Amino acid sequence: MTSLADIRSTFLDFYKRQGHAVVSSSPLVPRNDPTLMFTNSGMVQFKNLFTGVETRDYSRATTAQKCVRAGGKHNDLDNVGYTARHHTFFEMMGNFSFGDYFKEEAIRYSWELLTREFGLNPDKLLVTVFHTDDEAADLWKKIAGLPDERIIRIATSDNFWMMGPTGPCGPCSEVFYDHGPEIWGGPPGSPEEDGDRFIEIWNIVFMQYEQFEDGTRRDLDQQSIDTGMGLERIGALLQGKHDNYDTDLMRSLIEASAHATSSDPDGDGKVHHRVVADHLRSTSFLIADGVMPSNEGRGYVLRRIMRRAMRHAHQLGAQDPLMHRLVPALVQEMGAAYPELGQARALIEETLRAEETRFRQTLDRGLRLLDDELSGLPEGAALPGQAAFKLYDTYGFPLDLTQDALREKGRTVDTEGFDAAMAEQKAKARAAWAGSGEVADATHWYDLADQHGATEFLGYDTEEAEGQI
Ligand code: ATP
Ligand code: MG
Ligand code: MG
Ligand code: MG
């Protein structure tokens, strides 16, 4: 079986042979972009090369980039455990041209890699192009010999990439693999496209234009290429699996979770094991890159992922903190490719252990409260916002954790009620302060408390945490 480690090096070696510099992954906390929560694609570390602000001694590069999509524009937290193809942490492999080659070579390289190096069956592949991009459609026909019906024209933003409101932008072309009619889902552009039958494996962006503030565009002097292929997705294909979580690496983590909880990896707890394995990766890599759990910004996203994982561990019957015990399995699987994991191992274990020990003090009671609340409600009714707020405020349950717990039971939260309860508590705190006779600017104090967390559990709700960065 080709391991994910082998696939990673096959990809990098292939592009190295085509003259690309092999560049290391950048950290998950972007150095050059305070507006971005976490590095969420391969191009992040190269932004300044695409805009021409910076030049380096190479004009082509290839990477396997650590990515986290658990906040901000790309948030796959709610997909984990539910789809075959999403993780919160994954590796995006890519090749980049900075004003060097363009569409033709990009398509040629990717087709050669997929069908010759990786040996995928060309009949199972289909591609999308932006609806006006005849050039790309013609190239796929010429190079790959794809028939028209497997070159799908898409008119939405899915196939038009923009770096931001202004700056480099252009059409993109994506490669999909058809896993066959036994699996639910439809081709890209169809109403069932979110299913897992047709799985997107590669996004190839053609940076062709520059967009200005007034919405006009001009051709870039330096046309560039930016691509991203999920290692776990191509890994599943090459290991003859449909599901990313059945690849060698994810499977080892799932088995470690099953072993540590003396449970069946494929039994009733299957989804919990998948979430635990996924969140183990994102939390450990974030800690290794210097993020610590806190009540604001990046640290609060980390805390939310950790606590979600801890509830799933609890559902597996873990009597003691679980997550930190799985770190050795992760280091074993990924430590060679990412030495920072081994270096930070003690810090990761201690941070996970301390957070889980603390959260377990309220987790049990919170879950009991949740069950009591639900049993008093009519069938299918949403959990009242007050109850979700109490779980948040008193038991340290981020709103998304409560929603995640309810989703398993087919229930939801009254989020408007939750927001109202939050607003009411803030108003009360302000009034209490104002009534205390202090001359300090109460609003100012409250704002500070808001930013830094007045109490252990008074954190941001999802939107505030994300809006802030
Ligand atoms: P999807 O439509 O399946 O959510 P996407 O369009 O959001 O994927 P892109 O932003 O185009 O993905 O990222 C490029 C590639 O990175 C994808 O083609 C896929 O192979 C991989 N990828 C994206 N998100 C994830 C994820 N959450 N987990 C694993 N791989 C991912
Ligand atoms: Mg996505
Ligand atoms: Mg997509
Ligand atoms: Mg895509």
| Residues having C-beta closer than 5 Å to ion ligand 4 | 203
Cβ of 235 closer than 6 Å to ligand 1, yes or no, is no
CA 200 to centroid of ligand 1, rounded, Å = 7
Cβ of 198 closer than 6 Å to ligand 1, yes or no, is no
Token representation of residue 146? 């794809």
414-439 residues labelled b (16+ CB within 10 A) or e (exposed): bbebbbebbeeeeeebeeebeeeeee
Residue 463: pLDDT band with limits 50, 70, 90: very low
User: Which residue's CA is the closest to the ligand 1 atom numbered 22?
Assistant: 230
Question: Which residues, at least 6 apart from 190, have a Cβ–Cβ distance to it below 8 Å?
Answer: none
CA 175 to centroid of ligand 4, rounded, Å = 9
**Nearest atom within ligand 1 for CA of residue 80:** 27
Cβ atoms of 154 and 189 within 8 Å: the answer is yes
Q: Could you give the angle at the alpha carbon of 280 between the alpha carbons of 260 and 283, nearest 5°?
A: 145
**Nearest atom within ligand 1 for CA of residue 69:** 27
Cβ of 69 closer than 6 Å to ligand 1, yes or no, is yes
Token representation of residue 211? 């967009």
pLDDT(161) > 50 = yes
What is the model's pLDDT at position 13?
98
Average pLDDT estimate for 130-141: 98
User: Which residue's CA is the closest to the ligand 1 atom numbered 5?
Assistant: 200
Average pLDDT estimate for 234-238: 97
Cβ of 228 closer than 6 Å to ligand 1, yes or no, is yes
What is the model's pLDDT at position 351?
98
Cβ of 281 closer than 6 Å to ligand 1, yes or no, is no
Query: What is this model's ipTM?
Result: 0.99
Cβ of 85 closer than 6 Å to ligand 1, yes or no, is yes
Residue 431: pLDDT band with limits 50, 70, 90: confident
- For residue 202, the ligand closest to its alpha carbon is 1
Residue 35: pLDDT band with limits 50, 70, 90: confident
What is the model's pLDDT at position 438?
54
Q: What is the pLDDT of residues 41-58, one digit of tens each?
A: 999 999 999 988 999 999
CA 227 to centroid of ligand 1, rounded, Å = 11
Residue 185: pLDDT band with limits 50, 70, 90: very high
More confident residue, 151 or 165: 151
CB-based burial label for 299 (10 Å; 0-12, 13-18, 19+) = middle
What is the model's pLDDT at position 437?
60
CA 437 to centroid of ligand 4, rounded, Å = 56
Q: What is the pLDDT of residues 203-212, one digit of tens each?
A: 999 999 999 9
Cβ atoms of 61 and 99 within 8 Å: the answer is no
CA 403 to centroid of ligand 2, rounded, Å = 20
pLDDT(201) > 70 = yes
pLDDT(460) > 50 = no
What is the model's pLDDT at position 34?
80
- Average pLDDT value over all residues in the chain: 91
Q: Which residues pair with 125 in a beta bridge?
A: 177
What is the model's pLDDT at position 432?
81
| Residues having C-beta closer than 5 Å to ion ligand 3 | 200
Q: What is the pLDDT of residues 309-351, one digit of tens each?
A: 999 999 999 989 999 999 999 999 999 999 999 999 999 999 9
CA 69 to centroid of ligand 2, rounded, Å = 9
Question: Which residue of 172, 192, 205, 233 sits with most ligand 1 atoms within 8 Å of its CB, as the best mutation to test the pocket?
Answer: 233
d(CA 98, CA 51): 9
Cβ atoms of 198 and 186 within 8 Å: the answer is yes
Distances (CA, A) of 69 to 72, 94, 343, 413: 8, 17, 24, 23
CB-based burial label for 229 (10 Å; 0-12, 13-18, 19+) = buried
pLDDT(433) > 90 = no
CA 323 to centroid of ligand 1, rounded, Å = 26
Average pLDDT estimate for 122-138: 98
Token representation of residue 292? 């610590």
Residue 164: pLDDT band with limits 50, 70, 90: confident
Task: Kindly report which listed range (68-77, 101-110, 123-132, 252-261) carries the lowest average pLDDT score.
Answer: 68-77
Q: Which residues pair with 68 in a beta bridge?
A: 89
Q: What is the pLDDT of residues 344-394, one digit of tens each?
A: 999 999 999 999 999 999 999 999 999 999 999 998 899 999 999 999 999
Say what percent of the chain tops pLDDT 90: 85
Cβ of 233 closer than 6 Å to ligand 1, yes or no, is yes
Residue 452: pLDDT band with limits 50, 70, 90: very low
What is the model's pLDDT at position 32?
74
User: Which residue's CA is the closest to the ligand 1 atom numbered 7?
Assistant: 74
Residue 447: pLDDT band with limits 50, 70, 90: very low
Cβ of 42 closer than 6 Å to ligand 1, yes or no, is no
CA 158 to centroid of ligand 3, rounded, Å = 6
CA 205 to centroid of ligand 4, rounded, Å = 10
Question: Which residue of 63, 92, 125 sits with most ligand 1 atoms within 8 Å of its CB, as the best mutation to test the pocket?
Answer: 92
Average pLDDT estimate for 403-413: 95
Q: Which residues pair with 178 in a beta bridge?
A: 198
Count of other CB atoms within 10 angstroms of residue 325 = 20
